[in-house]
Amino acid sequence: MTLPTGPPLALLHERVNTWFLETGRDLPWRRPDCSPWGVFLSEVMSQQTPLARVEPVWHEWMERWPTPADLAADAPGEAVRRWKRLGYPRRALRLHEAATVMVQWHDGRVPSTHAELLALPGVGAYTAAAVACFAFGVPEVVVDTNVRRVIARTVTGLALPAPTLTRAESQLAHDVQPTERDAANLWNVAVMELGALVCVARGPRCGECPVADLCAWNRAGRPAHDGPPRRGQAWHGTDRQVRGEVLRRLRAEDHPLPLAALADSGPDAAQVMRCLDSLVADGLLEPIDGDRYRLPA
């Protein structure tokens, strides 16, 4: 199949897959001996989080909770404590909930089908597809930000994809994926790696790209993005920063902390109280007698 503005797909697949086999990172969850649980953890942990921060936490979780049953048997607060600096700590609670469901409904194992994975707490379409593919070899179409960017450039000639995934993009990703099972599974991880290391959003390294001569965007002279500007997320002074500081202080202690020990977690007392209330509402904190707070038991 040859798409209207893109390269011959067979050549694109061969180049990208060969490049990955020669240069792909040796990550522990990519190794053949990694359990489906290890793959599941890696996919949840790496959402919007650099892999350099994920790997040490992943190793710690796998050592402490090598199976879903091990995590489900521990307190959810321990999952939050050992989430450390990965950000979006509700993911830790969702992992604990997912592990509990695996024990209750799947004999303590990670389910292997896309539908069963999608039914787990906190699991969306991307995570379900990625775990089915990378843990069980089911060639689901795996589409993350990196994949979207590579396909946008190589096939459609756009500098960047749309701000959010569209139905047309999903269909294009399906059409671009190899039809043969093993090639499709390899393509899923290879094209993701290409987007993470070479075809990056800013300053793409086209000189290192195995398909630079095939890329529709590169061949067109790398036209600038003509869509809405991409804005980075603010951090300093936000509720996210204050919530993170509250959790950091609680993670550092093995006992509840009084409100007085948390009141200066942000510059504004009203903001701190708002953040405490939101953490309680999210299940990340528990208020107890004496104006004290603890991680969920």
Taking Cα atoms as reference points, which of 234, 235, 240, 237 lies closest to residue 278?
240
Sign of CA dihedral 60, 63, 64, 65: positive
Look up tokens 């707490």; give the residue. 121
Distance CA 196, CA 147 (A): 9
Catalytic residue among 14, 22, 43, 169: 43
Length of the chain: 297
Examine the residue annotation and report whether 116 is marked as an active-site residue of this protein: no
Look up tokens 């993670």; give the residue. 251
Distance CA 284, CA 121 (A): 16
Sign of CA dihedral 266, 271, 277, 281: negative
Q: Under 8 Å CB-to-CB from 57, ≥6 apart: which residues? A: 45, 82, 83, 84, 86
Which residue numbers are catalytic?
Answer: 43
